[in-house]
Structure 1
Amino acid sequence: MKRALLEADELIVRDEVPPPWPGRTVRIDGLLTHVRDTPATSPDAEPALYVHGLGGSAQNWTDLAGLLAHRLDGQAIDLPGFGLSGPARRYTIPALADRVIRYLEHSGRGPVHLFGNSLGGAISVRVAGLRPDLVRTLTLISPAMPFLDPRRSLQGRMVPLLAVPGAERLAGRWLTQLPPEEMARQVMEACVADTSRICDQRRQEAVEEIRIRYTAEHYASAYLRTLRGLVGSFVRAYLPGAGSLWRIAGMISAPTLVIGGWQDRLVDVRVPAQVARLIPDSRLLMLDGVGHVPQLEVPRTVARAALGLLGEVGTGVSNEVDLTGQQNPAR
């Protein structure tokens, strides 16, 4: 593990707040997957795939994908049951990772620069560990890797609900009781350390997305079943067998960047460093005053770190800065 390098800020030129990137629906194995495309602004841009977290969507990547468009030809998928994707038959981590793998195989864009946040980080660990042929570099942002103390996550209070019969119906009623504006506010406060960093446009987009969720009959079931699958992966990670996410992380060969926020309220703040120590070719960036979704809260900083990784591994021209501010020539 080593320290992350940051690209010089002046080399990131996009300042405007883009709207959500255009989307389309792809049918793979009979299931509908919604994908948003961020058009590359350079002819030599390389393919990238972005995977969101539990309860999120492809829109969580709008700003970061735009900031990286001069280097990466980005696609962000809605995981099954979330965003505008249809429901799935299974919501375990292996099943969700298989969906990402099938999408990469179907699109023929691999190997890609793979980005994952939270649940998407755990999924991306499995993809990168088991299918190294599909991944050029890996960026994990607040990855939801296993930890055993539920008190270290606001999601811990939801865990007892997973054992209650009819939990999906109870969750469905709870998820639709709050007005979309209040639900968006609560989600934002759970995920973001400083909500003043989120512009009005992103707030309104979050409200509109929740309105859509309220009309999707499958959403509550998808949320609870995905959370159950994630908790199950936590338990299996500490049992014998090849399915442990921690064991799979140790198999990753792709150059990897791990980013975490010291004010993360959903993933144990010790997890990013644990992940970085385990992955052989890794670098770590921990951000003061930042929560669970740095790509939403401080997208320029995340973009600088991602570009630093690309420059370090020789996939782009870079004028990197380490965390002490010293200039580093691209290698």
Structure 2
Amino acid sequence: MKRATLGPDDLLPAHHVPSPWPGREVRLDGTVTYVRDTPATASGAEPALYVHGLGGSSQNWTDLAGLLAHRLDGQAIDLPGFGRSEPGRRYTIPAFADRVVRWIEHSDRGPVHLFGNSLGGAVSVQVAALRPDLVRTLTLVSPALPFLDFRRSLQGRMLPLLAIPRGERLAAWRLAQLAPEVMAQQVMEACVADVTRISEQRRLEAIEEIRVRYEASHYAAAYVRTFRGLVSSFLRSYLPGSGSLWRLARTVQAPTLVVGGRQDRLVDVRVAPQTARMIPDSRLLMLDGVGHVAQLEVPRTVARAVLGLLDETEESAGRHDMAG
């Protein structure tokens, strides 16, 4: 593990708030996966894939993907049951990882620069570990890798829900009691350390995303079942066997950037440094005054760290070619 380096800020586009990138429905293995494209703005850009967190969507990556479009030809997917994708049969880390793998294979863009936030970070670790041929570099933003002290997470309040029969119905009822504007504000306050960093446009988009959730009858079940799958993966990671995310992290070959916010209220703040220690070729960036979604809260800083990773990887590949 080493400290992340930041690329020059002046290599990024001027400060702006891009509109959400165009989205489209793609039928994959019999169900619809929703994909947003962030077209490259320069020749030679390499393919990238962005994977959101629990309760999020592909829209969470709009700012970062836009800032990196001169280097990366981006796509962001909605995982099954989230955003505008149809529900899946299983809501586990391996099931989501299978969908990401299938999308990379279906789009024929691999290997990709793979990005994951929170749940998407855990999914991306599994993809990078089991299919190294599909991943050029790995960027993890507050990855939801295992921790057992749920007092360090606001999500701990949901644990009793997992023990209640038909907890999905209770979650759906609870969602129905909150106006989209109220829910959006609660989500922002949980995920972001300083909500003033979130533009009015992004706030309005978050409200619209929540309206979409309310119209999807499967959403509450998808959320609760995914949370249950995540907790199960945490517990398995501390037991003998091959299903441990920590053991998988040790096998990741791709050059990796790990970003964590010191004011993260959803994932134990010790997880990002531990992730960087586990992954052999890793760089760590810990950000003061930042919460769970650094790519939304401080996208320029995250983009600069990604540029540092890309530049270092290119230099290393150039030295290898010369030596060969």
Residue equivalent to 2:305: 305
Residue equivalent to 1:258: 258
As a proportion of its length, which structure holds more helix?
2
Residue equivalent to 1:23: 23
CA distance in 2, matches of 1:264, 1:207: 22
Secondary structure of the corresponding residue to residue 314 of structure 2: coil
* Residue 315 (structure 1) shift: 6.8
Residue equivalent to 1:181: 181
Where do 1:1-331 residues align within 5 Å? 1-314=1-314
Per-residue deviation, residues 273-326 of structure 1 (Å, max 9, x unmatched): 00000100000000000000000000000000001000011179xxxxxxxxxx
* Residue 14 (structure 1) shift: 3.4
What's the Cα RMSD here?
0.9
* Residue 169 (structure 1) shift: 0.6
Secondary structure of the corresponding residue to residue 231 of structure 2: helix
* Residue 191 (structure 1) shift: 0.1
CA distance in 2, matches of 1:124, 1:137: 11
Per-residue deviation, residues 165-213 of structure 1 (Å, max 9, x unmatched): 1111100010121111000000000000000000000000000111111
CA distance in 2, matches of 1:4, 1:96: 28
Per-residue deviation, residues 112-167 of structure 1 (Å, max 9, x unmatched): 00000000000000000000000000000000000000101000110110110111
CA distance in 2, matches of 1:231, 1:122: 12
Residue equivalent to 1:323: none
CA distance in 1, matches of 2:205, 2:72: 24
Q: Is the 8 A contact 1:39 1:73 kept in 2?
A: yes
CA distance in 2, matches of 1:138, 1:181: 34
CA distance in 1, matches of 2:114, 2:107: 14
Per-residue deviation, residues 69-92 of structure 1 (Å, max 9, x unmatched): 000000000000000000000001
User: Mind listing any 5+ residue stretches in structure 1 that lack a counterpart?
Assistant: 317-331
Per-residue deviation, residues 221-273 of structure 1 (Å, max 9, x unmatched): 00000000000000000011111000000000000000000000000000000
CA distance in 2, matches of 1:32, 1:15: 34
Report runs of 4+ in structure 1 exceeding 6 Å deviation. none
Percent of aligned pairs sharing the same letter: 75
* Residue 43 (structure 1) shift: 1.4
* Residue 16 (structure 1) shift: 1.7
CA distance in 2, matches of 1:83, 1:105: 21
CA distance in 2, matches of 1:308, 1:175: 41
Give 2:251's aligned amino acid: M
CA distance in 1, matches of 2:43, 2:137: 20
Secondary structure of the corresponding residue to residue 305 of structure 2: helix
Secondary structure of the corresponding residue to residue 275 of structure 2: helix
Residue equivalent to 1:321: none
User: Mind listing any 5+ residue stretches in structure 2 that lack a counterpart?
Assistant: 317-324
Aligned length in residues: 316
Q: Is the 8 A contact 1:142 1:267 kept in 2?
A: yes
Give 1:307's aligned amino acid: L
CA distance in 2, matches of 1:25, 1:315: 37
Q: Is the 8 A contact 1:25 1:33 kept in 2?
A: yes
Give 1:10's aligned amino acid: D
Q: Is the 8 A contact 1:14 1:66 kept in 2?
A: no
